[in-house]
C-alpha cells in the first residue's frame, strides 16, 4: 500500500525527490495528480512512499 507523502509542481522536481529518497533505500513512486492522461513536465505530481515508512522519508529529508 502506498500513501501520498508530498505534492510538487513539475516533473523534474518530482524526479529529484524520487531520486533522493531512493538513493537512501526508500522505494518511491511519482504519479501525476490529474492522472496519466495529463502527464506533462508542468503538471502537479504526487510523491508516494510505502505506508508506514513516512518517518523514514522525514528522516532522509532532515539529513539534507
State pLDDT tens for residues 11-59. Answer: 999 999 999 999 999 999 999 988 777 677 888 999 999 999 999 999 9
Instruction: Report the predicted TM-score, pTM, of the whole model to 2 decimal places.
Output: 0.86
pLDDT of residue 20: 97
Q: How many domains does the chain have?
A: 1
**3-state SS record for the chain:** CEEEEEEEECHHHHHHHHHHHHHCCCCCEEEECCCHHHCCCCCEEEEEEECCCHHHHHHHHHHC
pLDDT of residue 44: 94
pLDDT of residue 37: 72
Task: Determine the structural domain holding residue 43 and report its residue range.
Answer: 2-63
Amino acid at each position: 500500500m502506498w500513501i501520498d507523502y508530498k505534492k510538487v509542481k513539475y516533473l523534474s522536481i518530482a524526479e529529484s525527490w524520487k531520486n533522493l529518497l531512493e538513493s537512501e533505500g526508500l522505494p518511491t513512486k511519482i504519479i501525476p495528480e490529474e492522472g496519466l492522461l495529463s502527464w506533462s513536465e508542468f503538471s502537479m505530481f504526487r510523491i508516494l512512499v510505502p505506508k508506514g515508512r513516512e518517518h523514514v522519508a522525514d528522516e532522509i529529508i532532515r539529513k539534507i
